[in-house]
Structure 1
Amino acid sequence: MNTLADIAPLLDRNAQSPLWTQFRDALRSLILNGELAIGAKLPTEAELGEQFGISRIVVREALADLVRSGLIYKIKGQGAFVSARERDEDFVSTVLGFSDEMERKGRTVRTQVLVQELRAPSAAQAQSLALSDGQLVVALKRLRSVDGELSLLVETAIPADLAPGLHRTKLENRSLYDVLRRQYGHRIVRAERWIDAVMPDASTCLLLALAEPEPLLRIESLAYGPTGRPLEHYHALHRCKASRLHVKTTT
């Protein structure tokens, strides 16, 4: 029977990347490639350290990051187990919104509101939302988690005249699209989205609990209502190590 050390890439002690990230990526690759089955129990920290010739501290740090990514889970007194493959996330290709799409899949979404205020828009927001001089926006900055894993940092602007009082509405653990629909009668019917990859700055790493910087997907979205007026502009930074964005196209 193969050990993990037999089928995982050898760790390079001369590489610039730390041993714990090399070990984490080796385990992640085995999980996503199906070489470690869902539900499989991992060896103990001591056994992993012996197989790979690394310290338990290195093992523990790598396993903790895999837990945060949702690829493994731990049961007290029993050990660590493989939880799932990489997940497909469809919210970029729908107008449901992040919360609605995740909840439709039976996932648990939590939202922490970091900023919620009435203010003048940035130049980019004013242009995207077709605002005139003097018009204000409700500006939001929210941290989203899925099944306990920090996943998304989102900055949103809504034209204030379309949602009076939104800056005072309780939005913790609520879907913004649901609030716009129920409280203000606004329905998102289409959206344009642009996606690229970026490296996070120090403050983003702190908010998303990243042990070290890792590539994030940056999503810019401009959403419209039935009249064609822009209702929402957002920038999102999406941690995607344990998920893929899924987009469907039609002719």
Structure 2
Amino acid sequence: MFDRESPVPMYYQIERYIEHLIENRNLKAGDQIPSEREFTDQFHVSRMTVRQAIMNLVNSGLLVRIKGKGTFVSNYNKIEKALIGLNGFSEDMISRGMKPGSRMLSFRRILPSTKIAERLGLSKSEEVFEIKRTRLADDEPMAIETSYLPVHVFPKLTEKKASPSLYHYIEQECGLLIDHADQSLEAALVTDEEAKILDIQNGSPVLLIERCSFLKNGQPIEQTKSLFRADRYKFMITLPRG
């Protein structure tokens, strides 16, 4: 399986070897994988090479590291989210049979940055609500979500009303129907603080999504930045030819 003459890096070959063991159920969910030293002795490579292979699989969600115990095959699969249709986090989790939840990190009225003001069609003197929450699924942190809503559109918004589901508040309590959203997706790395909130290792990759939601008349009413755990989420899209 290992070819030292191949242009394929050794760490990548080790990754594929570990994946092969899991796919063929030689290693099952919850099993501890061999130590870095064992892989080093088995394949005659440096510990740094083995560590890179293992960390790549940890970051992808296939493996999980438990401090003081070792590295294990993950017990869960990634949540797949289709990049079609406009659903809130709570709606997504309920549709998967999971219990959605939120942990409020901050709720305040602020003057928006130039970027936020432009996206929401506001002047810099018009206030917005900044709502920062940890989004949970079955009590496990999945994402950090920071939303900005114009105060003049939602003057009665409170921390209690914002905590569970903003989309429910906007549509059910305010009677406003969200028509569409512009959304971007890119890779990012977490800060130390974000890693602690999401219960992942410092410097882990995350999926950064920015979304601006609009009413049918084109009025922007919500700008949101979300950091999703890359070890728990993957986004799917169907691409029609032509």
TM-score (structure 2 length as normaliser): 0.71
- Do 1:71 and 1:242's aligned partners in 2 also have CA atoms closer than 8 Å? no
Structure 2: gaps of 5 or more residues: 3-10, 42-53, 65-71
Give the structure 2 partner of residue 35 of structure 1: 23
Give the structure 2 partner of residue 88 of structure 1: 80
Which residue, 130, 133, 144 being the options, matches 2:135? Answer: 144
| Cα separation, partners in 2 of 1:98 and 1:168, compared to 1, 3 Å | closer
Partner Cα separation in structure 1 for residue 166 and residue 132 of structure 2: 12
Which residue, 193, 203, 210 being the options, matches 1:203? Answer: 193
| 1:1-251 → structure 2 map (5 Å cutoff) | 30=19, 35=23, 37=25, 40=28, 42-43=30-31, 48=34, 83-90=75-82, 92-172=83-163, 174-248=164-238
Per-residue deviation, 1:128: 0.1
- Do 2:113 and 2:124's aligned partners in 1 also have CA atoms closer than 8 Å? no
Partner Cα separation in structure 1 for residue 224 and residue 232 of structure 2: 23
Give the structure 1 partner of residue 49 of structure 2: none
Per-residue deviation, 1:149: 2.9
TM-score (structure 1 length as normaliser): 0.69
Which letter does structure 2 place at the counterpart of 1:30?
A: E
Corresponding pairs, count = 219
| 1:138-172 deviation per Cα after TM superposition (whole angstroms, max 9, x unaligned) | 11001112233321111110111211221343333
Partner Cα separation in structure 2 for residue 245 and residue 115 of structure 1: 27
| Cα separation, partners in 2 of 1:132 and 1:150, compared to 1, 3 Å | same
Give the SS at the match of 2:162: coil
Per-residue deviation, 1:44: 6.2
Partner Cα separation in structure 1 for residue 76 and residue 17 of structure 2: 11
- Do 1:102 and 1:109's aligned partners in 2 also have CA atoms closer than 8 Å? yes
| Cα separation, partners in 2 of 1:161 and 1:36, compared to 1, 3 Å | farther
| 1:71-128 deviation per Cα after TM superposition (whole angstroms, max 9, x unaligned) | 78xxxxxxx88644433123x4321211112211212222111111122112111100
Give the SS at the match of 1:181: helix
| Cα separation, partners in 2 of 1:198 and 1:189, compared to 1, 3 Å | same
Aligned-pair identity (%): 20
| Cα separation, partners in 2 of 1:169 and 1:85, compared to 1, 3 Å | closer
Partner Cα separation in structure 1 for residue 210 and residue 117 of structure 2: 15
| Cα separation, partners in 2 of 1:128 and 1:115, compared to 1, 3 Å | same
Give the SS at the match of 1:224: strand
* Alpha-carbon RMSD: 4.1
Which letter does structure 2 place at the counterpart of 1:225?
A: L
Per-residue deviation, 1:183: 1.1
| Cα separation, partners in 2 of 1:36 and 1:141, compared to 1, 3 Å | farther
Per-residue deviation, 1:42: 4.6
Partner Cα separation in structure 2 for residue 82 and residue 198 of structure 1: 22
Give the SS at the match of 1:161: coil
Structure 1: gaps of 5 or more residues: 1-6, 9-21, 55-61, 73-79
Partner Cα separation in structure 2 for residue 103 and residue 180 of structure 1: 18
